[in-house]
Amino acid sequence: ETRNPTLLATNYVSHPVAVWIIEASELRAAGMPPGSFTLSFKGDSVCSEIFQTVIIRDAAWQLAMEKCIERGLLPKAMHPRSPFFWRANNSWYIFHGFPQAVQDMLDKKSVVKCDFDLGSGIDVEELIEEKLAVCADVKAWEEGWSIRERDWLEPRLPLPSWDSLLCENSSQW
């Protein structure tokens, strides 16, 4: 089976976006004066849909999993406390501080701004109650994590394919 080069798997979207969001969010703590920098994401309803169904969803699931671990809903042996372990061994862990950075964007308290609708977010407590509290192990959780509204995104024309964007970005280094 040949892969369509214009498609982007949704499970690969959040981490690269999180890097940008986290880096921008840390500038103030690094000494940048307030109001001197804004990271702006510009887009249309497609960007809104991507943020709502992928980025915000992944931030909510990461926070829900972190809360389940803190509350002891998963056996301790299943999750060493180190986020470095989580990132290396679990697809649900996107980036340290990612859920809070996304919440700050939703609350309009962030240097990261979007000119498209981000929606209202996801109720993490409801997510825990409905989906996660019933999971007795990480494998069951990861199966739930992998069930997404959409598995693939396809940039609309006239945008270049995802592969072309990656090549363009790589050639800038």
- Per residue of the chain (173 residues), give pLDDT as tens: 556 666 778 888 899 999 999 999 999 999 999 999 999 999 988 899 999 999 999 999 999 888 888 888 765 545 555 555 555 556 678 889 999 999 999 999 999 999 999 999 999 999 888 776 666 566 676 677 777 777 888 766 666 777 777 787 676 55
Residue 80's identity, in one-letter code, is P
Return the pLDDT at 2.
56
pLDDT digits (tens, 9 = 90+) for 8-24: 788 888 999 999 999 99
pLDDT digits (tens, 9 = 90+) for 120-134: 999 999 988 877 666
SS3 17: helix
Return the pLDDT at 125.
94
DSSP 58-122: HHHHHHHHHHHHHTT-S-GGG--S-HHHHHHH-TT---TTHHHHHHHHHTT-SSEEESS---S--
Q: Where are the beta strands (DSSP E) in 79-146?
A: 112-114
